Amino acid sequence: MPDPLELLTTRRSFKAAELAGPGPSATEIDMLPTVASRVPDHGKLAPWRFIVFEGEARRSAGEAIAAAFRAKYPDAKPEHVEAERGRLMRAPLVIAVVSRAGPHMKIPEWEQVLSAGAAAMSLVIAAHALGYGANWITEWYAYDRGVLDALGLAAHERIAGFIHIGRPPGPPEDRPRPPLDEIAVRFAV
Is residue 161 at the binding interface for ligand FMN, with CB under 6 A as the rule?
Answer: yes
- CB closest to ligand FMN, residue no: 13
Q: Which is nearer to ligand FMN, 11 or 85 (CB)?
A: 11
Range in contact with ligand FMN (rule: CB under 6 A) among 43-51, 56-64, 65-73, 132-140: 132-140
**How far apart are CB 140 and ligand FMN at their closest, in Å?**
8
Q: Which is nearer to ligand FMN, 50 or 136 (CB)?
A: 136
Count of residues touching ligand FMN (by CB under 6 A): 9
Using the rule CB under 6 A, which residue among 71, 82, 138, 145 binds ligand FMN?
A: 138
Order the strands of the 133-137 sheet from edge to edge: 48-54, 93-99, 158-166, 133-137
- Residue by residue, what is the 3-state secondary structure of the chain? CCCHHHHHHHCCCCCHHHCECCCCCHHHHHHHHHHHCCCCCCCCCCCEEEEEEECCHHHHHHHHHHHHHHHHCCCCCHHHHHHHHCHHHCCCEEEEEEECCCCCCCCCHHHHHHHHHHHHHHHHHHHHHCCCEEEEECCHHHHCHHHHHHCCCCCCCEEEEEEEEEECCCCCCCCCCCCHHHHCCCCCC
Q: Name which of residues 63 to 122 contact ligand FMN (CB under 6 A).
A: none
**How far apart are CB 189 and ligand FMN at their closest, in Å?**
34
**How far apart are CB 175 and ligand FMN at their closest, in Å?**
6
Range in contact with ligand FMN (rule: CB under 6 A) among 36-44, 56-64, 134-142, 181-189: 134-142
Binding site for ligand FMN (CB under 6 A): 12-13, 135-139, 161, 175
